[in-house]
Amino acid sequence: MNAVPTAVPRWHRPMLATLSSERSADDGWVVERKLDGVRCLAFRDGDRVRLLSRGEKPMDRTYPEIVDALAAQAVPRFVVDGEIVAFDGRRTSFATLQGRLGVQDEQAARLSPVRVFYYVFDLLHLGGHDVTGLPLTDRKALLEESLDYADPLRLSVHRRGSQAAAMYEEACRCGEEGVVIKRADSAYRGGRSADWLKLKCVRDQELVVGGWTAAKGSRQGFGALLVGYYDGDALRFAGKVGTGFDDRALADLSHRLAGLAADASPFAETVREDDVRWVTPTLVAQVGFSEWTRDGRLRHPRFRGIREDKAARDVVREAR
């Protein structure tokens, strides 16, 4: 399929990777680093640049330096897909990025000590043409030659699929997120696809907050978050998360939870916990854990941060 003449779209549903344990691939695939940040689609139409999360939430004011970098490009019309990240040493860190998530004041964002970068890995529209039907490797070639890459804008480097196993082992050895393997001839299609596979070094996933337990002892705020995932229309209980919070996270979450107070449990199952407060299930947390138990609970869960870029009803249990 060739590029199709069309106006810059106002939105395009992002293509999502499927969790996999397959570590080998041939050169009909390409492999990239999996970055620990926030997904972002960027739309430029002349003088207007818009940054949208995978849930279609605007992020222009949160990351104005990225808007500036895209507005300075010679190409006046394009749509790109990528990941906004912050670093902790040499590793991308969602925890570090928390310092910018949710900031809606442009001046405050520009003054923030948290430095961010936009790693671009795909091209959806270029110069008045929809290129989503082109093979991935063609889109990547166009992406590399069409934009100028200077911080905070960076090009996500890819390698041949035959290097997937080595890249995955290196990522895990360095404490990184993992890798993403993509079919080299695949078109860009919105939604989750087996043409993109993600291999994680550390197990984690997004979960919906449905309640919390009271704090005990000297702890302030709350004791643990009660979390779950959607199975159809039912919110399934996945356990409680009581570690991973610093004082700032406890204070921020306590304030947000108070504004979501509800009279009844949102979970489909009976939750047998003492001193529980329920909330409307709209808040999404990133949670690390060691494994799922046989009864569908998280083992050794740890809070990693709040996700502003995903709707609660889109949260399902990832399985491999």
Q: Which residues are catalytic?
A: 34
Q: What is the largest CA-CA distance in the chain?
A: 64
**Structural contact between residues 75 and 127, judged by C-beta atoms closer than 8 angstroms:** yes
Tell me how far the alpha carbon of residue 64 is from its chain's centroid.
19
Query: Which amino acid does the sequence have at 308?
Result: E
At 255, phi and psi to the nearest 5? -65, -45
The two three-digit tokens of residue 226, written as one number: 């009660």
Q: Which residue from 151, 131, 150 is spatially nearest to 141, judged by alpha carbons?
A: 131
The two three-digit tokens of residue 26, written as one number: 């041939």
Query: Which amino acid does the sequence have at 181?
Result: I
The two three-digit tokens of residue 310, written as one number: 């995903």
